Amino acid sequence: MASNYVAAFQLVLFCICMVVANSVEFSHPAVFNFGDSNSDTGELVAGLGIQLSPPNGQDYFKTPSGRFCNGRLILDFLMDAMDLPFLNPYLNSVGLPNFHQGCNFAAAGSTILPATASSISPFGFGVEVNQFLLFRAQVLKLLAGKKFDEYIPAEDYFQKGLYIFDIGQNDLAGAFYSKSLDQILSSIPTILLEFETGIQRLYDHGARNFWIHNTGPLGCLGQNVAKFGTNQSNLDELGCVSSHNQAAKTFNQQLQAFCSKLQGQYLDVNVTYVDVYTIKLDLIANYSKHGFEQPIMACCGYGGPPLNYDSRVSCGVTKVLNGTTITAKGCKDSSVYVNWDGIHYTEAANQYVASQILTGNYSNTHLSEKMPFLL
């Protein structure tokens, strides 16, 4: 009975996304994306020369695709809805990648603040912006020489294109390992000043259309529950770490204020602030209503219920721990899990979040007017 319900729900989601894909009439010819693992399509893998293990990628690409997911990301579903191809990562150097309709600079582990020696990713937001500016300069040189026009953006795409941002999660989550909640809250203005600096640099080089995601409920990720939720008093009624979600909400309030400031500062910009936090929290709080069975437990991991997460062994990896060989394996049916590996969402959850973004109900500016309001 449950499997029939899930199958019916997935069919509804598929139909919704098809309606969205055929209905949204964006005027943007290209997308330039910046962020972390929530939208990384292979940047960190290419940049560090590493390789993800199966079952990453198994349910759509049929092989690891550089995405920390069993399939597609929110960004992939958004690109589909805009009738644009999936974005190639900036550092992809194999198979003559096509960047004609955009490029992805997002890298897993990236932060808004500059990377440190202990950072997972060396590509902080400032570096991602630098990469874009180099990309833009190289494209303009090639266009002047009338070379590779079919593989690179036209010059006016840099002004007409849509600039998407989903970053900040790692600044907050990583800080909890060494700072108190009060210290983290007091650091948010500094984090957002760095973000503003990057946005200003992009504006100075022609960017005018900004689509900015806020950060999700960090306290509901298995990784954070496992580390900071051992004391039940730290958890809320959903089983999420209260301090992490408080930090996320405070960050989002100040991010929204920045977006309003940016919109008011320049008459020629269009800023869309997207409340991803509310969408994700509702998904976790009302998971069964949305066709899921597991809101927090990882599909791909080790340790079994309630979290199926062990920080010592990541999804698809085999290790010897205390003399025993263990493997973080994938679950049988990822479609009923919200969380993929304790940190990232499953394709099914990403599809749901994207479908809600595309209703326009969680956006507060002009682009929402061009999104269908799905009932």
Active site residues: 37, 341, 344
Residue indicated by tokens 């191809």: 85
375 exposed, middle or buried (CB, 10 Å; 0-12, 13-18, 19+)?
Answer: exposed
- How many of the other CB atoms lie within 10 Å of CB of 179? 15
The DSSP code sequence of 72-119 is --HHHHHHHHTT-PPPPBTT--SS----TTEEE---TT--SSPP-TT-
269 exposed, middle or buried (CB, 10 Å; 0-12, 13-18, 19+)?
Answer: middle
Give the C-alpha separation, 152 to 135, whole Å: 10
Task: State how far the alpha carbon of 360 is from the alpha carbons of 25, 160, 196, 325, 333, in Å.
Answer: 13, 21, 24, 48, 30
Backbone phi, psi, residue 139, to 5°: -60, -45
Sheet holding 270-274, edge to edge: 102-104, 31-35, 162-166, 209-213, 270-274
Strands 324-327 and 318-321: antiparallel
Neighbouring C-alpha atoms within 13 Å toward the C-beta of 224 = 29
- How many of the other CB atoms lie within 10 Å of CB of 185? 18
